[in-house]
A and B are shown apart, each in its own frame.
Chain A
Amino acid sequence: MVMIAFEQIVAELEPAIARIVASYERNPATRQDLAQEVLFAIFKSLPALRDPAKLRPFIFRIAHNRCLDHVIRHSNRPKLDPLVDDLPGTDASPEQRFLSRERSLTLIEAVRALEIPYRQVITLLLEDLSYTEIAETLGITISNVGVRVNRAKTQLKELLNES
């Protein structure tokens, strides 16, 4: 029964989990392992979910906590360097694609280079969680969510201006 529920959840939330994991880990191979650990943690914790309406905060909390633990163990704070993969291709010319890719990589990398408290609120916001859901996921007040979002935006602008 738990397995069926788990498979349904993974089918629905797998892309979001992958994006959150990617915000903590740059190396694709390590990212796969980390994603498996996140899924395993979700699998083990699922019986504890009491309110199905709070599924997304529940899942994202586990994902962020597991990724945070990974950072503590391995210290993979990303610097603002472009990655090689992860972006979809376009139909533009090679030169246009290269320039567009460089701009895109910097934007995503800037998110990955944010301090973790701010990275967490931004990534959850990008996953369309409300401020209430973000507050519940991170165990903070709604007003603190707002403060962190503003500071995250300021840090993002600074990082993008530096690059």
Chain B
Amino acid sequence: MNNLAANLKKLWIEQDLNITTLNRRLRYGAIYWRALSMISVVAAIAAVGAGSWFAMKAVRQRDLLYALSAFALLVAVPPAAVAEVRARGQGMKWHDQTPEGTIRYALRRTVITERLLRITFFNGCVLSALVTAVWICVLLGLIPKQSCIVTITGIWLGVAMGTLLWVRFKKNSNQRERERCEKLLVEYTKAAE
């Protein structure tokens, strides 16, 4: 066993590994993550602003299309943005955590991700429902049929379908992450015995 330990130590230290220290990238990395959080906030404010403007137009012009758009923007976007900002705000301090703490944090993260995915799924459904509602109103004559409606509803439907597919994919990967956390916790519990 002593030979093994000596060999292992020698081989371990002699490993030929290089990591490139990119200081500039580290500085940009900090800016990038702050920018992402800002974008969520800005997007939420813009959605509320646009939704309010659509709502005013809907009231003044008695336009159902504006009303439906306002409803979608005011109902769907703000909760998602708030949830995402809260999720980002719960960032971990690596120096504070033990390995078990890291795993438990990752588990909490999967729970938060699941919540975000439910909200995103709801948004996808709201958008799909909006498209359906618009076309029902067009068929009933409540909204005049214009050429732009096909384009606009086509885009909304594309976004909705893309969102729902993405949610499905993320849900599977989130589930796998949760399973890994649970498996690792078992390993650490055994190691602590």
Chain A residues at the B interface, C-beta cutoff of 8 Å: 3, 7, 10, 14-15, 17-19, 21-22, 31-32, 35-36, 39-41, 43-45, 48-49, 58, 61-62, 64-66, 68-69, 71-73, 75, 85-88, 104, 107-108, 111, 115-118, 120, 123, 126, 138-140, 144, 147-148, 151, 153, 156-157, 160
**Contact (Cβ within 8 A) A140 B23:** no
**Contact (Cβ within 8 A) A107 B15:** no
**Contact (Cβ within 8 A) B184 A45:** no
**Contact (Cβ within 8 A) B106 A48:** no
The answer, among B4, B16, B29, B101, for a CB contact under 8 Å with A139, is: B101
Given A41-B94, A48-B95, A138-B99: A148 and B191 within 8 A (CB)? yes
Given A68-B102, A87-B14, A156-B4: A17 and B19 within 8 A (CB)? yes
Among B81-139, those with CB < 8 Å from A are: 93-103, 106
CA distance A107 to B9 in the complex (A): 10
CA distance A78 to B181 in the complex (A): 17
Please count how many residues in chain B sit with their CB below 8 Å of the partner chain's CB atoms.
Answer: 44
CA distance A69 to B100 in the complex (A): 11
Looking across the interface, which residue of chain B has its beta carbon closest to that of A152?
B191
Inside 8 A of A71's CB, which chain B residues have their CB? 180, 184
8 contacts between A and B (CB under 8 A): A7-B21, A14-B21, A36-B22, A65-B99, A69-B102, A72-B177, A86-B17, A144-B191
**Contact (Cβ within 8 A) A126 B95:** no
The answer, among B14, B184, B191, for a CB contact under 8 Å with A151, is: B191
Looking across the interface, which residue of chain B has its beta carbon closest to that of A68?
B102
CA distance A44 to B93 in the complex (A): 9
CA distance A143 to B180 in the complex (A): 27
CA distance A49 to B96 in the complex (A): 10
Interface of chain B, helix or strand or loop or mixed? helix
Chain B residues at the A interface, C-beta cutoff of 8 Å: 1, 4, 7-9, 11-23, 25-26, 29-30, 93-103, 106, 176-177, 180-181, 184, 187-188, 190-192
CA distance A101 to B148 in the complex (A): 68
CA distance A117 to B26 in the complex (A): 29
CA distance A163 to B13 in the complex (A): 22
**Contact (Cβ within 8 A) A75 B176:** yes
**Contact (Cβ within 8 A) A65 B19:** no
Closest CB in chain A relative to B74 CB, distance in Å = 34
**Contact (Cβ within 8 A) B15 A108:** yes
**Contact (Cβ within 8 A) A73 B21:** no
CA distance A43 to B11 in the complex (A): 29
Looking across the interface, which residue of chain A has its beta carbon closest to that of B193?
A147
**Contact (Cβ within 8 A) A72 B181:** yes
Looking across the interface, which residue of chain A has its beta carbon closest to that of B25?
A36
The 9 closest A-B pairs by CB, nearest first: A139-B98, A117-B191, A35-B19, A18-B17, A45-B95, A62-B94, A65-B102, A126-B12, A72-B106
